[in-house]
Structure 1
Amino acid sequence: MGVESGEAPVLVVSRADDVTADLVIEELNERAVPVVRLNPADFPGTVTVDALLGRGLHGSLRTSTRTVELGGVRSVYWRRPGVYAAPEGLSEQDGDWCRGQAQYGLGGILGALPGAHYVNHPWRNRDAEYKPAQLVTAARCGLDVPPTLMTNDAEHAREFATQCGPVVYKPVRNTDYLGGGGRALTVWVDEVEPADITPGVARTVHLFQHRVDKVADVRLTVVGEKAFAVRVDGAPRLDWRRDYDALSYTLIETPPRVAKAVRSYLDAFGLVFAAFDFGLDRTGLWWMYECNPNGQWAWFPDPLTRQIAVALADQLQYQGTSLTRESA
Structure 2
Amino acid sequence: MRGTTAQRPVLVVTRLDDATSDLVITELNRRDVPVVRLDPGDFPDTLTLNASLGDGGMTGEALTGTRAVDLIEVRSVYWRRPSPYIPAAGDGQDGRWCSEQARYGLGGVLASLPGAHYVNHPWRNRDAEYKPAQLATAVRCGLRVPPTLITNDPDEARRFAVEHRPVLYKPLWNSDYLGPDERALTVWVEDVEPDDLHAGVRRTAHLFQRRVDKSADIRLTAVGSDLFAVRIDGAPGVDWRRHYDALTYVPIETPPDVAAAARSYLDAFGLVYGAFDFGLGHDGQWWMYECNPNGQWAWFPRPLTTPITTALADQLQHPGERYEH
TM-score normalised over the length of structure 1:
0.95
Aligned to 1:184: 184
Letter in 2 for 1:57: M
* Matched position secondary structure for 2:156: helix
8 Å Cα contact 1:44/1:86 also seen in 2? no
Residue in structure 2 matched with residue 295 of structure 1 by the alignment? 295
Is the CA contact 2:146–2:288 (under 8 Å) kept in the aligned structure 1?
yes
1:265-280 to structure 2, matched below 5 A, reads 265-280=265-280
Equivalent residue number for residue 78 of structure 2 = 77
Partner of 2:242: 242
Q: Per-residue CA shift, 1:25-60, capped at 9, x if unaligned?
A: 000000010000000000011111111112311011
Q: Compute the RMSD of aligned alpha carbons.
A: 1.6
* Deviation, structure 1 residue 91: 6.3
Query: Aligned partners of 1:242 and 1:15: how far apart in 2?
Result: 24
Q: Give the superposition deviation at 1:86.
A: 2.6
SS of equivalent residue, structure 1 residue 29: helix
Match of 2:261 in 1: 261
**Distance of 1:50 and 1:302 partners within structure 2:** 40
In 1, Cα distance between equivalents of 2:135 and 2:266: 13
Match of 2:218 in 1: 218
SS of alignment partner, residue 11 of structure 2: strand
SS of structure 1 residue aligned to 2:302? coil
1:116, CA displacement in angstroms?
0.2
Does residue 67 of structure 1 match 2:90? Answer: no
Equivalents in 1 of 2:48, 2:240: separation in Å? 43
Q: How many residues end up aligned between the 2 structures?
A: 320
- The superposition leaves residues 43-94 of structure 1 with CA deviations (integer Å, 9 ceiling, x where unpaired) of 0111111111123110111101111110000100000000111325x46111
Q: Distance in 1 between matches of 2:159 and 2:40?
A: 46
Indicate conservation of the 8 Å contact 1:13/1:81, yes or no.
Answer: yes
Whole-Å separation in 1 of the counterparts to 2:109 and 2:47: 13
Could you tell me which residue of structure 2 aligns to residue 168 of structure 1?
168
Cα distance in structure 1, aligned partners of 2:121 and 2:4: 26
Task: Give 1:67's aligned amino acid.
Answer: A
Distance in 1 between residues matched to 2:225 and 2:54, nearest whole Å: 35
CA distance in 1, matches of 2:10, 2:220: 25
Q: Which residue of 2 aligns with 1:140?
A: 140
Alpha-carbon shift at residue 183 of structure 1 (Å): 1.1
Tell me what 1:58 maps to. 59
Gapped regions of structure 2 (runs ≥ 5): none
What is residue 26 of structure 1 aligned with on the other side? 26
Per-residue CA deviation, residues 257-291 of structure 1 (Å, 9 max, x unaligned), is 00000011000000000000000001100000000
Secondary structure at 2:317's aligned position in 1?
helix
2:154 pairs with 1:154: yes
8 Å CA contact 1:8, 1:74 repeated in 2: yes
Question: CA–CA distance in 1 between the matches of 2:261 and 2:54?
Answer: 40
1:180, CA displacement in angstroms? 2.1
Aligned to 2:160, what secondary structure does the other structure show? helix
SS of equivalent residue, structure 2 residue 104: helix
Local SS of the residue matching 2:27: helix
Q: For the structure 1 residues 5 and 224, does the alpha-carbon distance in structure 2 shift closer, same or farther, using more than 3 Å as the test?
A: closer
Q: Which runs of 4+ in 1 moved over 3 A?
A: 3-6
- The 3-state SS of whatever aligns with 1:303 is helix
CA distance in 2, matches of 1:240, 1:304: 18
- After TM superposition, the structure 1 stretch with the greater mean CA deviation from structure 2, 11-20 or 311-320, is 311-320
Which letter maps to 1:21? S
Question: In structure 2, what residue type is equivalent to 1:81?
Answer: P
Report the Cα offset of residue 6 of structure 1: 6.8
Counterpart-to-counterpart distance in 1, 2:203 and 2:99:
29
* Counterpart AA for 2:58: L
1:170–1:207 contact (8 Å) kept in structure 2:
yes
Instruction: Confirm or deny: 8 A CA contact 1:5 1:34 kept in the other structure.
Output: no
Identity percentage over the alignment?
A: 67
Task: Quote the Cα distance in structure 2 between the aligned partners of 1:253 and 1:54.
Answer: 50
Checking the alignment, whether the CA contact within 8 Å between 2:8 and 2:74 is kept in structure 1 is yes
- With over 3 angstroms needed to count, the CA separation of the structure-2 counterparts of 1:251 and 1:324, relative to structure 1, is closer
User: How far does residue 307 in structure 1 lie from its aligned partner after superposition?
Assistant: 1.2
Q: Which moved more, 1:276-285 or 1:53-62?
A: 53-62
Instruction: Point out where structure 1 has 5 or more consecutive residues left out of the alignment.
Output: none
- Distance in 2, matches of 1:4 and 1:92, equals 46
* Code of the aligned partner of 2:228: F
